[in-house]
Structure 1
Amino acid sequence: MASTGRRFIDVVEPILRYVPTVPRPREALSMGSRLFWTFLAVTVYLLMSITPLYGLSPVTPSFFISPAIAAILGITFGTLAQLGITPLVVAGIILEILVFSDMINIDLEDPEDQAKFNALLKLLAIVFGLLEAVALVTSGQLIPVNALGGVLIVIQLLVATIIIILMDDMISKGWGLGSGISLFILVTIVKQMFAMAFSPFTLPGSVIPYGAIPALAAAIYYAIGGKMTYLMSILYQVNLPSLTGLIATIALALIVLYLELMEVSIPVALVQYRGYRYSVPLKLMYVSVLPIIFTAYTVYLIGEGLTLLWSAYNRADTNPFLNWLACAHMTSVGLIPCPNSLLYYFTVVPRNIDAAYIAVHIIMYAALSVIFAIVWVNLAGLSAEDQAKYIVQGGMHIPGFRPSPKVIAKFLDRYVRMLTIISGLIVGVIAALGDIAGVFGGGIGLILVVEIVIQYYTLALQEQLFEIYPGLKRLLGKE
């Protein structure tokens, strides 16, 4: 398998030389310069998210993706950011699985192989971007004015994908701070949160602003005049900003922040220096947010499949078996699933929510998230065996145990297994509760925002420390 993977790299290597890339800066940039380039990348991405695609028909398209997943992937419908970071994320996940499963033989510790990995990642992202752009046009999700318009839309999305890839490459190469993918996710979700909290604009047919805080001010104004209806209506609204959503956003953000900072310490010692001991921390939120993203996407795809089943075969709602699978009613406000059908439980927060939906939604998210967490840990190099290998390669061992990967892996297995299940359970429950409570940016988006903010805070402290003590940077091999 390894030789096959190596041959694949050798075959595509001539192509990788033509993949566009950003060179590293000749010398380490100051914090001010890196902040400038980071701000520039954010500005370009925001401009792309408000620039409409040329050649797009004014007919409102129907996108087969939920708003929550769109926010996570940095997607803004009908703009140059239509694909967002989807090509990069999909390419990254597939490539990591192929590398960690040894289907592609790349040593990420070798600088030359690391460069090939980065080039292959960009090449796959460009290919996925092109394929996704063509799929959006041919499936009718992006409706062009004519055939030429369709070609122009594909070209625009391909160029936009290359720009996003290069901006991510620029930031990760040391011109900016952190990761471009994380930065674009953060910008997209925070923009959505800001709109849900502060937008002064009103939706068609409403006199109350869209944002929760302006809506509260307007509702109080009407309440003083004797109209209490508006004040009661903004307490909780399904799929719209509300006071409940605002309070839940703050409360869950603090809970996630607390959980993200919790760690389990594994005592280790250096083999060469007996008596020198310290701890290797394993985060309580061990699997991060990827399993819940897979969970949300799985639930959404099943819901879309059931919706198509209803649309094609059961619009009359006369077949008992199909009614159990997919029963719904088309109204002026959209599709309303029947509470006694499976489609109801695979709809992301339906309008007619009840206690049964809340219970099933939480249990389903928690169970699927744990399953995907276990799968991801074994695919992404996070298993006990992988952690043991890293400890031994670092010249460390666990006191009282032989410095053998198998022995250490057996010791770590109970910790890794427990953290995998607990972290998967936590993110599943928080994401489900966030969706039900109307958290701004969605439950998954909130977890992502907190994680990325912590990463950037830690990175900023590290960079500040390196500027004060330049020798520390050389000592840690960060140059």
Structure 2
Amino acid sequence: MEQAEQPRSKLYALEGLVRRLPEVSVPKRHVSFKEKFMWTGIALIGFFVLTQVSLYGMAAGAGQTAFFGQLRFILASHAGSLMELGIGPIVTAGIIMQLLVGSKIIGLDLSKTDDRALFTGVQKIGAILMGIFQASMLVMSGWYGVAFGSGAGIFLIVQLTIGVLIVVYLDEVVSKYGFGSGISIFIMAGVAGTIFWQAFNPLQVGGQFTGAIPNFFGTMLGGGNISDAFFRPGMPNMMGVFATIIVFFIVVYAESMRIEIPLAYGRFGGIRGRYPIKFLYTSVIPVILAMVVFANIRMLGMVFSPLQGASYYLSAPNGIFDVMADPLRAGIYISVLVLLCMGFAWLWANMTGMGPRDVARQLDRSGMLIPGFRRDIRVMEWVLGRYIMTAALLGGAFVGAISAVADFMGALGSGTGILLTVGIMYSLYQEIAKERMTEMFPAMRRLFGE
């Protein structure tokens, strides 16, 4: 008896609109290492140019401070520019679409080419709509000092939406012609630049060097109190520098931690292999999603006053003095962040084909089994579930905790920013190494499925 064909998703009603959207074409040939490097650099330069384009129509003195605070590092947001919203609308739309697909509400099968293309197109539309919504929230809250219904207010919304649209296509260019994804590259570049500037900034404010390291040497040579260089409040200090270095090495070590499950081919018993399960199974994705949730709560709090109190407790205390001033805030923040990261790690593993059932099916289709257990997909799923979901939950808790603790210690560029930068750099290194290998040995492209 033939299996009934799955009904088409109702989202196909948007197919006509999706087809009309401009799209970066998929490369019809192998993109060389030099070309990928070039396109990644062009997209990055374009992004930095946009961060220097100021919004037109703001009231005098408005929009100069960062609306998202410490979250601006994760969202690649730059105050008062076209990149005010950063990657927030794109990631928010991605979260919504992943949840809808994973819960099978919209009936898309991402293993099918047509469904995957529709998913990408609808996500692009969602990012634009989310950009309009978030831009409207900022203007409505009076952040730019103009009325929501005024010509200046509408023009500001248009500018911010155009900024989101440009980031969508820059991300698409990097994803198809460059290394990694544009969103990851933008986050990494922004955080790395911030860390460097906060550590080495030679400018002086109030007789003190702004950068932590110049201030340290200036204090030593001037015969000042060394503890001031380590714990000065409100400005980058040496405690933040050491916290940054410590977090960097902890995350690098955690990225290398893994457990390997032995495998064997069912048809050829002598051929064995291993399936690696990383401790950071879902990488830094959970903390990105958690921070986007915090950013949206902060934005809604500007319009809906009951959420203002929540946004205060969902923003990280920056430095030991902030933690000591309000320990309750620090405790609530780290607790909520860890729980959210664990929840998002579980969701991401189950909704993106990384769960025990999906992995068991992939291994079963390739003819592999776990030695010591009978070949049954349900048994394989049970064995994998013991390791995969444990790694996902513990990894999610780890990235949430290390992010919060780094913020409490005053790490440069924010704890979450450092965490994301290390994770992105690690993934980028692996991709570049693979690309160099395929450049030297073209026959290996088939092994990687290219």
C-alpha displacement of 1:156: 1.6
| Alpha-carbon separation, structure 2, partners of 1:307 and 1:54 | 22
One-letter code aligned to 2:317: V
Partner of residue 140, structure 1: 142
Name which of structure 1's ranges 409-418 and 449-458 shifts more when overlaid on structure 2. Answer: 409-418
| Alpha-carbon separation, structure 1, partners of 2:156 and 2:6 | 37
The one of 286, 293, 316 aligned to 1:291:
286
TM-score by length of 1: 0.83
| Alpha-carbon separation, structure 1, partners of 2:125 and 2:154 | 21
Deviations along 1:77-111, one digit per CA (max 9) or x if unpaired, are: 11011111112111111111212222223332333
Partner of residue 220, structure 1: 220
Q: Secondary structure at the match of 2:259?
A: strand
Deviations along 1:125-153, one digit per CA (max 9) or x if unpaired, are: 11211222222212212334892222222
The one of 154, 158, 167 aligned to 2:157:
154
Question: 1:248-263 to 2 correspondence within 5 Å?
Answer: 248-263=243-258
Partner of residue 367, structure 2: 395
Q: Secondary structure at the match of 2:97?
A: helix
Name which of structure 1's ranges 460-469 and 366-375 shifts more when overlaid on structure 2. Answer: 366-375
Partner of residue 455, structure 1: 427
Partner of residue 47, structure 1: 49
Deviations along 1:373-393, one digit per CA (max 9) or x if unpaired, are: 334434444332232233223
| Alpha-carbon separation, structure 1, partners of 2:314 and 2:251 | 25
CA contact (8 A) 1:300 1:348 kept: no
One-letter code aligned to 1:354: M
C-alpha displacement of 1:291: 2.9
CA contact (8 A) 2:66 2:79 kept: no
Question: 1:325-404 to 2 correspondence within 5 Å?
Answer: 348-349=316-317, 351-354=321-324, 356=327, 362=334, 365-404=337-376
C-alpha displacement of 1:21: 0.7
Q: Which residues of structure 1 form unaligned runs of 5+? A: 313-324, 327-341
Deviations along 1:393-449, one digit per CA (max 9) or x if unpaired, are: 343222233343322111112112321332123212211210111111111111110
| Alpha-carbon separation, structure 1, partners of 2:352 and 2:67 | 26
Partner of residue 23, structure 2: 21
One-letter code aligned to 1:97: L
Aligned-pair Cα RMSD in Å: 3.1
Indicate yes or no: 2:216 matched with 1:246.
no
CA contact (8 A) 1:87 1:126 kept: yes
CA contact (8 A) 1:268 1:278 kept: yes
Name which of structure 1's ranges 80-89 and 109-118 shifts more when overlaid on structure 2. Answer: 109-118
CA contact (8 A) 1:240 1:438 kept: no
CA contact (8 A) 2:95 2:289 kept: no
Q: How many residues align?
A: 441
Question: 1:180-191 to 2 correspondence within 5 Å?
Answer: 180-191=182-193
| Alpha-carbon separation, structure 2, partners of 1:301 and 1:113 | 29
CA contact (8 A) 1:307 1:343 kept: no
Taking structure 1 as reference, are residues 93 and 63 closer, same or farther at Cα in structure 2, changes over 3 Å only? farther
Question: 1:63-462 to 2 correspondence within 5 Å?
Answer: 66-144=68-146, 147-173=150-176, 175-203=177-205, 206-223=206-223, 228-229=224-225, 231-296=226-291, 348-349=316-317, 351-354=321-324, 356=327, 362=334, 365-462=337-434
C-alpha displacement of 1:346: 5.3
Q: Percent identity?
A: 31
Partner of residue 336, structure 1: none
Partner of residue 472, structure 1: 444
Deviations along 1:30-75, one digit per CA (max 9) or x if unpaired, are: 2112111111110110111122111122233498954222210111
CA contact (8 A) 1:126 1:158 kept: yes
Q: Secondary structure at the match of 1:353?
A: helix
Deviations along 1:347-398, one digit per CA (max 9) or x if unpaired, are: 5217553295566655554445334433443444433223223322343222
Deviations along 1:220-256, one digit per CA (max 9) or x if unpaired, are: 3432xxxx25x43221244531101101111110111
| Alpha-carbon separation, structure 2, partners of 1:110 and 1:95 | 16
Q: Which residues of structure 2 form unaligned runs of 5+? A: none
| Alpha-carbon separation, structure 2, partners of 1:5 and 1:53 | 46
One-letter code aligned to 2:281: Y
